[in-house]
Amino acid sequence: MIKAFKKGLIGFGLLGVCAAGISGIAAVEEAQASHLFRTYKRETPPKPPETPEAIAEGKKIYEKRCWYCHGIEGGGDGPAARTMFPKPRNFTRNEYKVRSTTFGSVPTDEDLFRIITSGIEGTAMPFWYTISEKERWQVLYYLKTFNNQFKESGAAKMVSLGGGIPSSPESIQRGKELFKETKCFECHGEDGRGNGPLTVALQTEWDMPYRARDLTKSWLFKGGNTIEDIYRTVSTGFNETPMGSYLEKLSDEDRWHIAHYVKSISKDMTSDVVIKATLLETEELPTDTSDENWSKAAVIEIPLSGQIIASPRLWTPSVDALRIRALYNEDEIAFLLEWDDSTNRQEDVFRDSVSVQFPTKIPDSLKKPYFAMGDSGGAVNLWVWKAYWGEGFGSVIEAPETEPGEAYELNAKSFNKISRQPPESQNITGTGVYQNGRWSVVIKRPLKTDDAKNDIQFEVGRLIPIAFAVWDGSNSDVGSQKSVSSWYYVNLEKQVPKTIFAYVLVAIIMGASVELWFIARLRRFPPKEEE
């Protein structure tokens, strides 16, 4: 009897091995979905001597890897630069951003090494830790030959970056005051979302394409997002950008305070594949973007990219992330969509807007309509909200806070097969508010509608595919020129059923009985050693 039991066990074990193999494949897929932002790496290895041979080697590397963007003469005008914003660095000028040297001077070799190693998140500049350390030194020696200032200025004027004070609520508070007093907010906005009046004026009146950093997005800091990095950035500034150096304007201590404050407002992206819609029992769903019930819903932030799948394409998107929350009750579902935008200026066709996309019915298998506007095999249902613009031809306005904007439903089977639903099938309501550099939009709809053919019908507990798009009017986004996401899922969370405790109790009793039976039997007929 024992032998038969043993064979069974071994067979079972083999089955387990196969199953684990299969799930191994699945795990690889899961791991791929986790994304990664570049980080500023500060370590530098010792550098080799800057000999003519090293420079000649560097030229070869440059003409293999860098020139498409930075140009064969280093002018930042390579053939691929056309579709980029910001443009690649022009090495013939001194427009280096990430440095540990005083404003206006050229970076040190180590600065260049670090930025070449790390790359620049949110721009075309790749990370180059993929080439050897020696190659990185060689190529940067070559870069320096494009600009005489490297030779002429002699030893670089380093900003002293020692010391530091620990972060504390008082320091952050002082930093916050300094952020106002030193007028950082004029460019970066009161809440740091890059929406200050000066930024807007530069863009609109001077047509200067500078975008002050959105300091709330920690992953976009070009020079790194640690306290020390931020302190260095504030001390040195970025050459040839409005971001100046505060070395003279602020004391050393004050620069640390301000760095602590900037760090405290910068947040990481908390992303997930499933957006959980929380049940709001016995209550009306909020229509207002500032309703406190929203805090009951989990926040998920997802990255967006420019739409470059079908032309006309958007190569230089300005909206790169969207925050989503969802609530539902017995009758309705509501989404709160938030994204940062430096202005709320609207023009005739160029309007700030957002859309939520669903398949027209919940798919029974993994098969879905195409994530970008559906396909002939599956239509999508789109909920669009657009900021207010009701002025005469050619006028540009800032959407007033009293105007909630308009919301309407569409169906689409591709980028050029889009139809607006007839008035009797329009079931959504939408309200948008622009405050301190952020759009907040609430879109609401009944869970079920009469138009079951063209509208998604929500069901509790199912995984429902959902995708998003955002347009920024001031970036001339319109039509297919928008920021997009791929398919995610929304799940109307089931409540924990009360019966669960009964099940658990039954399970414990059953477990205990089986155990008692087994032990009783074992003690009655103890296993005998066979000879």
Partner 1 sequence: MVNKRRTYLMIWVIFAVICLFLFLKYASPKVFQILMAKGHPMPTPSTLMMWYMIMGVLAGLVYATTSNQKFVDFLSFLLPDRGPVIKSLLQKVLFVSFPVLVGWFVYSWSLPGAASPVELRIQHPTLPQNYEKLENPFRHEDAETQRLCIEEGKILFQTYCRPCHGSKADGNGPFANAFRLRPINFQDPGTIATVVDNYLFWRIKEGAPGLPSESTPWDSAMPSWKDDLKDDEIWKIIMGEYDTAGVMPRQREKLE
Tell me whether residue 38 or residue 257 sits nearer to partner 1 (CB atom).
Answer: 38
Q: Which residues contact 465 (CB under 8 A, 6 or more apart)?
A: 358, 359, 363, 368, 487, 488, 489
Residues of span 454-473 touching partner 1 by CB under 8 A: 461-463
Q: Binding partner of residue 39 among partner 1, ligand HEC, none, CB under 5 to 8 Å per kind?
A: partner 1
The dihedral formed by the CA atoms of 291, 293, 297 and 303, expressed in degrees to the nearest 10: 0
Work out how close the CB of 508 gets to ligand HEC at its nearest, in angstroms, rounded to a whole number: 48
Q: Binding partner of residue 488 among ligand HEC, partner 1, none, CB under 5 to 8 Å per kind?
A: partner 1
SS3 content of the chain, % helix, strand, coil (to 5): 30, 20, 50
Per-residue binding string, ligand HEC, 358-397, x by CB under 6 A, is ----------------------------------------
Pairing of the two strands 345-347 and 463-471? unpaired
**Of the listed pieces 30-38, 153-161, 170-178, 285-293, which binds partner 1 according to CB under 8 A?**
30-38
Cβ neighbours, 10 Å, residue 65: 16
Does 308 contact ligand HEC by CB under 6 A? yes
Rounded CA-CA distance 241/247 in Å is 16
Q: What angle do CA 427, 429, 433 make, to 5 degrees?
A: 165
Number of H helices, E strands in the chain: 12, 16
Work out how close the CB of 72 gets to partner 1 at its nearest, in angstroms, rounded to a whole number: 12
Q: Which residues contact 453 (CB under 8 A, 6 or more apart)?
A: 360
Residues of span 422-461 touching ligand HEC by CB under 6 A: none
Q: Binding partner of residue 394 among partner 1, ligand HEC, none, CB under 5 to 8 Å per kind?
A: none
Candidate list 48, 60, 72, 80; residue touching partner 1; CB under 8 A: 80
Does 116 contact ligand HEC by CB under 6 A? yes
Tell me whether residue 78 or residue 404 sits nearer to ligand HEC (CB atom).
Answer: 78
Work out how close the CB of 491 gets to partner 1 at its nearest, in angstroms, rounded to a whole number: 4
Does 72 contact partner 1 by CB under 8 A? no
Rounded CA-CA distance 412/379 in Å is 6
Cβ neighbours, 10 Å, residue 148: 12
Residues of span 198-217 touching ligand HEC by CB under 6 A: 198, 210, 212-213, 215
User: Residues 325, 334: contact at Cβ < 8 Å?
Assistant: no
Question: Which tokens sit at 87?
Answer: 């443009």
Chain contacts with ligand HEC (rule: CB under 6 A): 65-66, 68-70, 84, 86, 88-89, 96-98, 112, 115-116, 120, 123-126, 128, 139, 143, 182-184, 186-188, 198, 210, 212-213, 215, 221-223, 230, 233-234, 238, 241-243, 246, 258, 262, 308-309
